Copies of this chain bind each other. A is one copy, B any other.
């Protein structure tokens, strides 16, 4: 596998391939051509072939891809054959929603612990996980094998929480606080409202232009 050549755009399309292939497999589709896959995914077929070539191709052109094989291979490339332990810091609205979220595979991405600073929330059990006092975060990270930290605090605390997570040895940060956190590990800053702004742009533009 030649990861170093894989562009950011390709990496970000991998989960999309994985989702669509999962659905195809559930629908009982066994083989699919890049042309058919391109219609399913609104991507062009040559783009798909080019993306797959980053990882050695997966299938013969003209004959199509075997869905279950492709799904398994892409899952492996994404790392979905791994098990990750995660902690959530901030058990407010978004934190609680993520603890209860069933949009990711719980076997794969396991919420091991959650932390908050609010006395009324500490000790509450949410989806089988008891919320701990955030003062216990650093010790917890040193005593447990955690890979991914999820930040759901207020904007003001996000960076210092991020620093503590990194100091605790975590190598990936999934940040939902509405500010970009900066760290020398892998960071995904999620700005939910950015996509709402994109809708706003389109509505406004349509109004102007049509």
CB within 8 Å of B: which residues of A?
1, 3-4, 11-12, 14-16, 18-19, 23, 77-80, 82, 84, 93-94, 96-98, 100-101, 103-104, 108-109, 147-148, 171-174, 178-180, 186, 188, 190-206, 208-209
Contact = CB atoms under 8 A, between A and B. Distances in A.
A103 B178 contact: yes
User: Chain A binding site: helix, strand, loop or mixed by DSSP?
Assistant: helix
Copies in the complex: 2
B171 A196 contact: no
B103 A172 contact: no
Contacts of A79: 197, 200-201, 203-205
A46 B188 CA distance: 24
Nearest to A173: B199
Contacts of A171: 203, 206
Nearest to A200: B79
A194 to B, nearest CB: 4
Contacts of A3: 205, 208-209
A171 B206 CA distance: 10
Contact of A78 (B15, B19, B23, B201): B201
A194 B188 CA distance: 10
A133 B35 CA distance: 43
